[in-house]
Amino acid sequence: MTVIQIIMLAAIFLIASIISVIAGSTSLITVPVMLQFGVEPRTALATNMLALTLMSIGGTLPFIGKRVIDTLRLPLLIALTLAGSILGALLVLIVPSKSVPVIISVSMIAVTVLSIANRNAGVVPSVKIPSGIAEIAGYTVTFILGIYGGFFSGGYVTLLTAAYIMLFRMTFVQAIATTKLINIFSSLVASLIFIGQGLVDYQLGMILGFAMFIGGIIGGHITLSLSNAWLQRIYLTVVTILTVVTLRKSQPQNDSTSTTHLMIE
């Protein structure tokens, strides 16, 4: 890969990471771009995951000390995420993934519809305490999405953000901040597995990771500067666009790499 190509990739990763702090689904953009630049599919997935870990760290930093991260639920959420991500990473070895893009698209459509139907969810701080059933459902979804994140994680943070808004009654900024911190652990587990398999391009990964780390910091500060209403608008716009793109890419292709285009975050 030439220096010009690396610079172009870094610029794309920087922009994608700024946007994805709010909306998630980073890898629905970054992995296909890496494949277009000629990076071998498995290397692209592994290297992208390393970069995502750095982005999640950068995206979390602006929220530290702002009292928007759900620290009470955090220990259990992290534990469930780690358990689910490890299980999901192991499933990659035995479960075919070519049908998952359709599942992602359907899930994102459901997120969009539910968000529009519940326009105040995540926008106006809830005065109601989540019911016991909703609380249990939130933890259950965290574990299930953790498996999904370790297995095929395209749209993982996007779906997790929606779940926390609807089940835990978080505002958008609370859900974004909390899921960014949780995603550090999910991405790190997958990165360690990929490193153990010798799939990571460290030089490229650190360059792209640094770009995403900076993008995460910028995106975090932008998130804190916007109202929950604007965060909802940006979130829904990006999710709608990515849903259309994902549906198109889920169509049958002859390219053997088509089933790996949408893996990760």
Q: Contact at 8 Å (CB) between 96 and 258? A: no
DSSP assigned state of 131: P
**Cβ atoms within 10 Å, residue 94:** 6
| pLDDT in the model for residue 193 | 86
Residues 213-227 pLDDT 10s: 999 999 999 999 998
- Residue 258 pLDDT grade (very low, low, confident, very high; cuts 50, 70, 90): very low
| pLDDT in the model for residue 119 | 60
| pLDDT in the model for residue 224 | 94
Q: Contact at 8 Å (CB) between 106 and 165? A: no
What whole-number distance in Å separates Cα of residue 60 and Cα of residue 151?
23
Q: Contact at 8 Å (CB) between 24 and 156? A: yes
Percent of the chain with pLDDT over 90: 43
What whole-number distance in Å separates Cα of residue 90 and Cα of residue 88?
5
pTM given for the model? 0.82
Of 24-33, 144-153, 166-175, where does the model show the most confidence? 166-175
Residues 62-97 pLDDT 10s: 999 999 999 999 999 999 999 998 888 777 666 655
**Close Cβ partners of 36 (under 8 Å, ≥ 6 residues apart):** none
Domain boundaries, the chain: 3-260
Question: 50 or 110: whose pLDDT is higher?
Answer: 50
**Cβ atoms within 10 Å, residue 112:** 17
